[in-house]
């Protein structure tokens, strides 16, 4: 290994990350960021070319994800499977099961709750995503407390990406959360198994999307602090569940080292740091959202520029009983127009 790659791999904590893990994860991160950028430029080119770019980028991300997981699996078989330490407590079937179930549940919730939003990125949302990921990454180095087997309490490192989800919607937040989770695997890796990698990184940090769950509820529009806090709590719960399953089924060896007879109690206690970390983010987030200047310049101003998706045309629906023709919009994004200016209208036949 030459000096430059070694510097990049050992920069965080001085321990070497195997090449078989580092480079595939780095390439996967770059490809996912590229995918987000291609989603943005699809509207800048012809429709046919734009569709081809999106399909190509998604296929590339899927292929690289499969390669990455395969290489992690190879590393597990060579280094972990019969090592006499991890292998004595390792539970592969529950690990795979919980990873798959959490992915299904979270994806289903994202698409159900975010059905009125879209994955479409424009230049502003791409720029905001890049800035928020960079800010979260930088803040993740400011650690109040670092745990011995991975995980740390930081100075609200999740807050920038949580605010992105709060402003731009749960679907965009979901993609940005996955990208940030893969970046975390490069920064602070504890990787021994493909399913454990999914649980501790992409799945755990994709929970950031839920910070935007309550942002569009009418009853809470005058209380942004409450809507953000509720979403942040949901983020913390899903992130905790993901880390808890990983700790119970992959890192049971550490329970005995720490003097615990029950791996579930150990994982519960160890991963409780998630709630401390999220409380720090909630406190600072509530302070920011209590500032009229921040709400006006960052939240409301950015939301007001989110345009409805116009890829689907409006349709005319004939209401024979009322003798009216209703004009219905099929926009999938935020409807930020005042009620008086909505496209829905009726005209006498």
Residue 40 falls inside a structural domain = no
Could you tell me if 227 and 344 lie in one domain?
no
Position 320 confidence tier, pLDDT thresholds 50, 70, 90: low
**Using CA atoms, how far apart are residues 96 and 251, in angstroms rounded to an integer?**
14
User: Is pLDDT larger for residue 121 or for residue 281?
Assistant: 281
How distant, in Å, are the alpha carbons of 162, 177, 197, 235, 237 from that of 277?
Answer: 13, 16, 20, 11, 12
Residue 59 falls inside a structural domain = no
Range of weakest confidence among 8-12, 100-104, 148-152, 154-158:
8-12
Could you tell me if 271 and 150 lie in one domain?
yes
In contact, 90 and 80? CB cutoff 8 Å:
yes
pLDDT digits (tens, 9 = 90+) for 222-246: 899 999 999 999 999 999 999 999 9
Residue 54 falls inside a structural domain = no
Cα angle 101, 114, 332; round to 5? 135
Could you tell me if 191 and 336 lie in one domain?
no
pLDDT of residue 215: 87
Residue 195 falls inside a structural domain = yes
Q: Is the pLDDT of residue 280 over 90?
A: yes
**Residue 263 sits in which domain range?**
90-304
The alpha carbon of 267 is separated from its chain's Cα centroid by a whole number of angstroms, namely 22
**Using CA atoms, how far apart are residues 166 and 196, in angstroms rounded to an integer?**
28
- CATH code, 283: 1.10.1760.20
Q: Is the pLDDT of residue 188 over 90?
A: no
Could you tell me if 339 and 212 lie in one domain?
no
Q: Is the pLDDT of residue 220 over 80?
A: yes
Could you tell me if 209 and 340 lie in one domain?
no
In contact, 96 and 224? CB cutoff 8 Å:
no
Residue 126 falls inside a structural domain = yes
pLDDT of residue 330: 47
Could you tell me if 118 and 195 lie in one domain?
yes
Split into its structural domains, the chain has a count of 2
Q: Is the pLDDT of residue 309 over 70?
A: no
Could you tell me if 116 and 199 lie in one domain?
yes
Question: Which helix (H) or strand (E) covers residue 146, if one does?
Answer: strand 143-146
Residue 13 falls inside a structural domain = no
Average model confidence (pLDDT) across the chain = 84
**HSE-CB of 201 using CA atoms within 13 angstroms:** 26
Residue 133 falls inside a structural domain = yes
Could you tell me if 250 and 286 lie in one domain?
yes
In contact, 59 and 155? CB cutoff 8 Å:
no
Could you tell me if 161 and 293 lie in one domain?
yes
Tokens 């890192």 found at: 251
Could you tell me if 244 and 319 lie in one domain?
no
Position 124 confidence tier, pLDDT thresholds 50, 70, 90: confident
Residue 42 falls inside a structural domain = no
In contact, 57 and 50? CB cutoff 8 Å:
no
Position 307 confidence tier, pLDDT thresholds 50, 70, 90: low
pLDDT of residue 183: 93
Range of weakest confidence among 29-43, 54-68, 96-110:
29-43
pLDDT of residue 217: 84
Could you tell me if 287 and 258 lie in one domain?
yes
Could you tell me if 160 and 271 lie in one domain?
yes
Q: What is the DSSP letter of 312?
A: S
Question: 16: burial class by Cβ within 10 Å (0-12, 13-18, 19+)?
Answer: exposed
């Amino acid at each position: 290994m030459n000096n430059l790659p070694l510097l990049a791999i050992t920069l965080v904590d001085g321990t070497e990350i195997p090449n078989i893990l580092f480079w595939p994860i780095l390439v996967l991160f770059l490809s996912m960021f590229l995918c987000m950028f291609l989603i943005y430029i699809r509207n800048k080119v012809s429709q046919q070319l734009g569709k081809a770019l999106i399909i190509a980028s998604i296929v590339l991300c899927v292929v690289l994800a499969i390669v990455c997981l395969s290489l992690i699996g190879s590393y597990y078989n060579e280094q972990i499977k019969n090592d006499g330490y991890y292998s004595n407590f390792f539970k592969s079937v529950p690990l795979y099961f919980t990873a798959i179930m959490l992915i299904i549940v979270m994806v289903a919730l994202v698409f159900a709750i975010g059905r009125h939003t879209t994955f479409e990125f424009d230049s502003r949302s791409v720029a905001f995503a890049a800035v928020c990921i960079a800010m979260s990454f930088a803040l993740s180095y400011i650690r109040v407390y670092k745990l011995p087997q991975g995980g740390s309490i930081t100075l609200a490192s999740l807050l920038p990406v949580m605010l992105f989800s709060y402003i731009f919607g749960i679907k965009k937040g979901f993609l940005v959360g996955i990208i940030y989770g893969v970046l975390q695997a490069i920064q602070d890796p504890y990787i021994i198994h493909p399913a454990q990698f999914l649980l501790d990184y992409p799945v755990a940090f994709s929970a950031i999307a839920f910070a935007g769950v309550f942002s569009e509820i009418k009853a809470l529009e005058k209380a942004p602090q409450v809507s953000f806090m509720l979403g942040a709590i949901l983020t913390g719960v899903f992130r905790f569940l993901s880390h808890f399953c990983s700790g119970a089924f992959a890192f049971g060896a550490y329970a005995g080292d720490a003097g615990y007879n029950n791996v579930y109690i150990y994982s519960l206690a160890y991963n409780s740091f998630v709630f401390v970390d999220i409380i720090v983010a909630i406190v600072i987030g509530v302070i920011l959202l209590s500032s009229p200047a921040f709400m006006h310049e960052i939240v409301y101003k950015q939301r007001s520029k989110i345009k409805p998706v116009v890829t689907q045309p409006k349709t005319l629906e004939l209401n024979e009983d009322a003798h009216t023709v209703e004009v219905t919009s099929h926009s999938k994004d935020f409807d930020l127009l005042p009620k008086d200016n909505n496209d829905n209208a009726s005209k006498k036949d």
